[in-house]
Chains A and B, each alone.
Chain A
Amino acid sequence: SIKNPPQNPPPRPPPEMRRKRV
């Protein structure tokens, strides 16, 4: 069903978001 989340890990955060974490 569509309610089941994907079985693969999500992608790592895009570069835009990684900068915020620094």
Chain B
Amino acid sequence: GPIILETYRVVADFVKTSKNEINLHSGDLVEIVEKSQNGWWFCQCESKHGWVPASYLEPLDGPEEAEDVEPNYEGELYITINAYKAEQEDEISLDMGETTEVIHKLLDGWWVARKGEEVGYFPSMYLQKCGKKEKY
């Protein structure tokens, strides 16, 4: 049968920063082909297709972000595979190779990470689950 794609509405203008992305205009409707856990979603919009940030989209059927899982305050251990320096107040800076506890995985690709007493958002694409044998 036909593949039914989910439709999302663009909530803010987005200007592409690399070649596989597409520009978005607030109010546009896009169809989602693939949802990557790192917060980039592959979409098609009229004749264009490419990657866009999930956080710039809301489901057409309702503004609820129902797909986010609940926070897990015990945390899950992850190791950073890339350093990231916080650019905003609510982010956390970590070097490469640090272990951190992830307490909330959000669909937008920014997960809440805890290191000691510090808590903040960190890019999920720079995290790899501890104990998982994957090459990067």
Chain A residues within CB distance 8 Å of chain B = 2-17, 20-21
Task: Flag if B20 contacts A12 (CB, 8 Å).
Answer: no
Size of B's binding interface in residues, CB under 8 A: 31
CA distance A9 to B110 in the complex (A): 8
Provide the B29-73 mask, 1 if CB < 8 A to any CB of A, else 0.
000000010111010000001110111101000010100000000
Task: Flag if A17 contacts B12 (CB, 8 Å).
Answer: yes
Task: Flag if B123 contacts A16 (CB, 8 Å).
Answer: no
Residues of B within 8 A of A15 (CB): 12
Task: Flag if A6 contacts B20 (CB, 8 Å).
Answer: yes
- Most interface-central of A5, A10, A16 (chain B CB within 10 A): A10
Interface of B is mostly: mixed
Task: Flag if B12 contacts A6 (CB, 8 Å).
Answer: no
- Most interface-central of B14, B39, B42, B84 (chain A CB within 10 A): B39
Task: Flag if B123 contacts A9 (CB, 8 Å).
Answer: yes
CA distance A17 to B8 in the complex (A): 14
A17 partner, pick from B20, B42, B55, beta carbons under 8 A: B55
With A2-B50, A5-B20, A16-B11 as given contacts, are A10 and B38 in contact (CB-CB < 8 Å)? yes
